[in-house]
Amino acid sequence: MKSILLVLLCLACWCNGARVLVLGPFGSYSHKLVYMPIAESLAEKGHNVTVVSPFRPKKIVENIREIALVRKDDVNFFNFRMLQGLPAVIPRFWFMKQLMAEIYSDFIHNEQFKAIQGEQFDVILIDAIFNEFCLPIADLWQVPIVLISPSIGPPWILGNMGVAHHSASYPSTWTSYSTDMSFTQRLFNTLEVTLAEVAMDLMVNRPLNAMIKRDFPQARTIREVTNDLSLCIVTSNPALNWPRPLPPTIIEVVGLHIKTPKPLPADLKKFADEAGETGFILFTLGSIVKSSTIPKETVQSFVRAFSKIRQRVIWKWEADQPPANLPANVMTVKWLPQGDLLAHGNIRLFISHGGLLGLQEAIFNSVPLLGLPVVNDQVLNVVKIVKEGAGLSLEWETITEDNVLAALDSLLTNASYRGNMSRLSSLMKDVPMDGREKAVYWIEHVLRHGGTRHMRISSLDLPFYQHYLLDVIGLMIFIALLMTALVVFIARRLCNRTRPAKISSKAKVQ
């Protein structure tokens, strides 16, 4: 009996004290806002967590050690709007190739990261988007690997987990299509998914594999490691994304970063409270797209439109100098507590770039959206909201005072937008368990069972032609052609036998 209790105690200690490594050397701060709540929840349960990210910690959390790979990349994302769509696939991945090489070099040469390479970990969590170079390095620890995706992700992320590409009904990340696609859209969607996967492999992963092999001769390739991934935790929900069939190793979570609202700073609280029944509008482009980089002419279109509405506007504006001709009903701030403002009772509208974190907060609080997507999945996120009738969208190149005013008037006066957002809010909240609890449960499931081989679908082991049944389809076509040829041959023979013999011209004369 004593021995049994001792074993149980040891197991309990192991489960409550696993060593977890979180790798996210590349990505915006919004990525960290997805995996940090999981890391903090694991730490609360007694696990020891080490986090590698491009950002310094904003607070000290018990059981969490952070390593910051600080980079100073000042990117104007409005210049990246040209890298959307099929023609931009090759330039997009050429840029990513250069950037990934730099970040990989910073990553492996960081002294703090070098120091932990001799430590032992029990599970490794990796930011899924463009951190593929972490996979062969994490694999050297010979422990289960779990991906955490801040969104549904580019096509190869789910593809690596065995998710089939439904190009006829599910739009690619960089398109502006919905699920109802025309023939041309289905064609371009298929070409973009295929070309993106090929470009990612040839232009990004293969050069990275060569660099990794040079620095870590015993490392496997990125492709070899992806075949052995345990889980992929994705930010997905029917309120955010169009549904698609997923294998058991894809874990959908939502609202990881959403917390109980905190009191607003005094100046923001006064401005929001005094908005009264008319309410206020929140205008922010998130953590990586700066409002101060909006073209000046477009800024003035917003300024003139805001001067003609009754609502107050809180505008996240990062530059020291506010926009010219700013009306009295507009307040600019360099930083704002987005989630807390969206939970305020006087909020009437959210003007956003369509980032997935802000979108979840808007849905959670039933706030209609005016989407101004800039790059990446922002376009697809806004397309979904517009199709659900919970918001409107404007293209940056066509923004004028008049169409901004028209959009604001429609969103502020038509109650259907808020009603549809409330419907989406009910969908997003109606889940069996909190997103953080669900993520932690499945990570601990991986720890308990040493991986998820029992959940892995067999299609991952099939070659391309077998996975898509090309050999079966080829045989069926061959049999169909053979049967057709046989029927034609028999018909011709029967016709020849039943046809009367031809009379020669000599016989006809006689």
Q: How confident is the model at residue 6 (pLDDT cuts 50, 70, 90)?
A: very low
Share of the chain above pLDDT 90, in %: 53
pLDDT of 83 above 80: no
Query: What pTM was estimated for this model as a whole?
Result: 0.86
What mean pLDDT is predicted for residues 340-361? 93
Q: How confident is the model at residue 13 (pLDDT cuts 50, 70, 90)?
A: very low
Higher-scoring residue by pLDDT: 32, 173: 32
Q: How confident is the model at residue 16 (pLDDT cuts 50, 70, 90)?
A: low
Q: How confident is the model at residue 180 (pLDDT cuts 50, 70, 90)?
A: confident
pLDDT of 499 above 70: no
How many Å separate Cα 103 from the centre of its chain?
Answer: 20
Starting at the edge strand found earlier in the chain, the sheet holding 145-149 runs 64-68, 48-53, 19-23, 123-127, 145-149, 231-235, 250-253
Q: How confident is the model at residue 218 (pLDDT cuts 50, 70, 90)?
A: very high
Element holding 308 (H helix, E strand): none
Q: What is the pLDDT of residues 430-473, one digit of tens each?
A: 988 999 999 999 999 999 999 988 988 888 888 878 887 899 99
What mean pLDDT is predicted for residues 229-233? 94
CATH numeric code, 266-429? 3.40.50.2000
Q: How confident is the model at residue 158 (pLDDT cuts 50, 70, 90)?
A: confident
Q: How confident is the model at residue 295 (pLDDT cuts 50, 70, 90)?
A: confident
Q: Rounded distance, CA 89 to CA 128, Å?
A: 19
Element holding 64 (H helix, E strand): strand 64-68
CATH superfamily of 18-254+435-457: Glycogen Phosphorylase B; (3.40.50.2000)
Residue 73 DSSP code? -
What mean pLDDT is predicted for residues 148-163? 85
| Closest alpha carbon to 316 in 352, 280, 348, 345 | 352
Q: How confident is the model at residue 396 (pLDDT cuts 50, 70, 90)?
A: confident
What mean pLDDT is predicted for residues 363-381? 90
Residue 62 DSSP code? T
- One DSSP character per residue, 238-290 reads TTTS------TTEEEE--TT--PPPPPPHHHHHHHHTTGGG-EEEEE-TTTS-
- One DSSP character per residue, 187-218 reads HHHHHHHHHHHHHIIIIIIHHHHHHHHHH-TT
Do 18-254+435-457 and 266-429 come out as alike in CATH topology?
Answer: yes
Sequence ranges of the domains in the chain: 18-254+435-457, 266-429, 464-498
| The pLDDT of residue 74 | 58
pLDDT of 496 above 50: yes
Q: Rounded distance, CA 40 to CA 101, Å?
A: 30
HEC secondary structure over 4-52: HHHHHHHHHHHHHCCEEEEECCCCCHHHHHHHHHHHHHHHHCCCEEEEE
3-state helix, strand, coil in the chain (%, to 5): 50, 10, 40
